Amino acid sequence: MIERVAALPPPDSPLAWVLALPLASALVLAVWRNGRGAAWANLAASATTFAAALALLADPPPPSRLLFVDRFNLYLVVLTAFVGMTTAWFSAAYMARGGEPAKLAPHHLRFYHAMFQAFLFSMLLALTANNTGVMWVAVEAATLTTVLMVSLYRTPEAIEAAWKYFILCSVGIGLALFGTILVYLAAQPVIGAGADAMAWTELMRRAAEFQPDLLNLAFVFVLVGYGTKVGLAPLHAWLPDAHAEGPTPISAVLSGLLLNVALYALLRFKMLIAANGATLDPGPLLVMMGLSSLFVSGFMLYRRGDVKRLFAYSSIEHMGVVVFAFGIGGPLANFAALLHMAMHALTKSAVFFAVGLITQTAGTKRIADIRGLTVSHPALGWGLVIAVLAIAGMPPMGVFVSEFLVLAAAFARQPLLAVPLAAGLLLAFGALLLRLQGLAFGAPSLEPGGNNPRGVTLLALLPMGLHLALVLAAGLALPAPLAAWLRGIAGMLG
């Protein structure tokens, strides 16, 4: 029973280290005096956190009042820690050059790296929280830290984007709070007052006894609230601005990690609803929002003139695919959605790594001013080609496999819904190929990389190459242990 367990895991548990390392690192980096040294301290802290996440695979602790680990959140903890580490690696090279608008002062660099660790801590806490209130606080903390990083360059556009992000996501997270309170009100008569009525482990055990009307109402608020953080249309307006104006490494973790964390919170509530047989079926709502996100982003991809906004809308597209798959439900669709979450996180962060280096080299984010990268900067240009083809769903990359499985599941369970899904995927595919043609091929608009003092370095390219190699490996042959892991999570999701 929950009453007999400790509030926190043992201090020597890998889970304690997964959370303590980024939190302590954020505090240390906040007072770090060496702006350039902070980048390497950030990388060392992120790598140690990833090592602790791997140790958590072998030694998961029993649930406590505030924290717990199961197959679902452990999958996302390892993914989050890995992408956090590679993004910190990329940041060490990228932020030392400055950024798109201007070179950053040392104290701004120190602030950036401290907020990066605070952001990583917030996401890991949200994933491992065994308390609906703690999860909500952690997601809100992730919002606040990224708002500060989006506004890092202090340009009028960055301030406006950060303000828009803060307002829209605060409204969304406020609605999610109301939904969380309604779940507590549904649980209180059955479990009793206090923290026990907010613990996921206890909520799932007693969910069938809760009042279904309260759960139905709660899920609607949670869907709109956390759906705003996921970037689902029509709640997506903050996402393109935040990606376009913040530092590119933050665009990578926003797309690759934060959207997954918000979706994880939404799925936990979906699991709670599914455990009560008298509640509504959340599937149609998720399918509708998934398809709307897919088509809105697909059409908007054709009209983007900013390269970072282009791939921000691509993130909305892929979150739409994932939510659609979870709405279809069933073992195959859930398996495909879980795989797509990882493939999108790895591929989209690789895309933004390439885009960040491109915008630094070109000195602009305008697509019309960037041409022929495979001629002027072959390593960067061909890296972008591979990354964009991967995120567009070309075989044999892992994104193709996950999208193919989503389509197969849709044809098997809801054939009429598979047709608009396929149309939406083709719509986005055409837009990305159209934009890639100009960016990568034709007469170059930039001087050759050897004549550019800010030329791309091997250190900055390695994280992109590592991500794409993993996505290719997953597309060619998904490791059996990972496939078994995902099948187990898919069964949990129903």
360-399 pLDDT per residue, tens: 888 888 998 999 999 988 888 999 999 999 999 999 999 9
Q: Is 154 left (phi over 0), alpha (psi -120 to 50) or beta?
A: left
Is 458:379 a contact under the CB 8 Å cutoff? no
What 3-state class would DSSP assign to 199?
strand
Average model confidence (pLDDT) across the chain: 90
- What confidence category does residue 109 fall into, taking pLDDT thresholds of 50, 70 and 90? confident
Give the model's pLDDT for residue 449: 56
pLDDT of residue 6: 64
- Does residue 486 have a pLDDT over 80? yes
* 443 pLDDT higher than 90: no
Tell me, what's the pLDDT at 454? 47
Q: How confident is the model at residue 3 (pLDDT cuts 50, 70, 90)?
A: very low
* C-alpha to C-alpha distance for 491 and 473, rounded to whole angstroms: 25
Domain locations along the chain: 9-280, 281-494
Res. 450: pLDDT tops 50: no
Structure confidence at residue 103 (pLDDT): 62
* Average pLDDT for 45-59: 95
Query: Residues, the chain, total?
Result: 494
pLDDT over 80 (residue 327): yes
Determine the Cα–Cα distance for residues 184 and 218; give it in Å rounded to an integer. Answer: 10
* pTM, full prediction: 0.94
Burial class (CB in 10 A: 0-12, 13-18, 19+), 185: middle
The number of C-alpha atoms within 13 Å of 424 and in the hemisphere containing its C-beta is: 26
Amino acid letter, residue 137:
V
Task: Say what percent of the chain tops pLDDT 70.
Answer: 94
